[in-house]
Amino acid sequence: MTTSLEMVLITGMSGSGKSVALHALEDAGYYCVDNLPPELLTAFTDLQIQHGATRKVAIAMDVRSATSLPQVPEQLQQLRSQGVAVRSLFLDAGVDTLVRRYSETRRLHPLSRPDTLDQHRALVDAIELERELLQELRDQSHALDTSVIRPAQLQAYIKALISAPATQLTLVFESFGFKRGVPLAADYVFDVRMLPNPHYEKELKSLTGRDQAVVDYLREHQPVADMLGDIERFMDRWLKALALDHRSYVTVAIGCTGGQHRSVYLVEELTRIFSSRWNTLKRHRELDSLPT
């Protein structure tokens, strides 16, 4: 059985930005349903297929459906066997970020106990329990770390991800700065802080790895070329195996100190190299988060 129905399932930590993601999908023409109980997923999908009311749907589920969430991975596999193009995205964020967001909004976490005297400890415990309950879903989804990105940045990332073909592996290269932490959602992380740093060249300090002067500087140094070649060979060796393992997305994070020069340059080069072989996306976490 085949169908032209496209489905995006959004799950993730409470406070990680699922509402923002749904708004992005709604803007992209998806019919969106928030907090659909897992028990209704199959019936809802059958209804969409039978009536053909829409060809693109997005569904958000969260830990409020904790008792029935374990059945979701099997349901998704069943939908794929029926020809539904399913993408599963998991939004994540660090504990400190989630605690700060809940403190700012004064909302109560779905798993919190309001009668607890130490509300901070109760919130941290609730977050850790939620992460444990959602781990299986996270393992089978493409994860996005929203800890240090703006809502507009998250919306752009979501739209870019769903624009890639659903039936093929998509390779995502992301630059970042270690001083703001390692992306939680990265499948591979390469540390390039040992490479020559344009930050210490006065005329290059304010530029980025996308500027020609920085590109020329980095191309003059053999260790940069060696690092680029090593990452290319490693990914080239293992991507076919990852594709055969039915992976939809693979995120490769390249980190330098500030996420401005070396990591940006390498992400640009790797995207150029691999774009002729795979569906490829690029992100620059620190540059993308700058005000426009």
Picking from 179, 145, 191, the residue whose alpha carbon sits closest to that of residue 283 is: 145
13 is in an annotated binding site: yes
18 is in an annotated binding site: yes
17 is in an annotated binding site: yes
209 is in an annotated binding site: no
100 is in an annotated binding site: no
112 is in an annotated binding site: no
Residue type at 283 in one-letter notation: R
Picking from 164, 185, 163, 165, the residue whose alpha carbon sits closest to that of residue 174 is: 185
User: Other CB atoms closer than 10 Å to residue 156's CB: what's the count?
Assistant: 15
206 is in an annotated binding site: no
User: Rounded to an integer, what distance in angstroms lies between the CA atom of residue 247 and that of residue 224?
Assistant: 29
19 is in an annotated binding site: yes
Token pair for residue 43?
Answer: 């019936």
64 is in an annotated binding site: yes
Q: 282: which strand partners?
A: 173
* Neighbour-count burial for 213-250, b at 16+ CB within 10 Å, e otherwise: ebbebbeeeeebeebbeebeeebeeebeeeeeeeebbb
Chain-centroid distance of CA 268 in Å reads: 18
248 is in an annotated binding site: no
Annotated binding residues for GTP, as ranges?
Answer: 62-65
Annotated binding residues, as ranges?
Answer: 12-19, 62-65
Annotated binding residues for ATP, as ranges?
Answer: 12-19
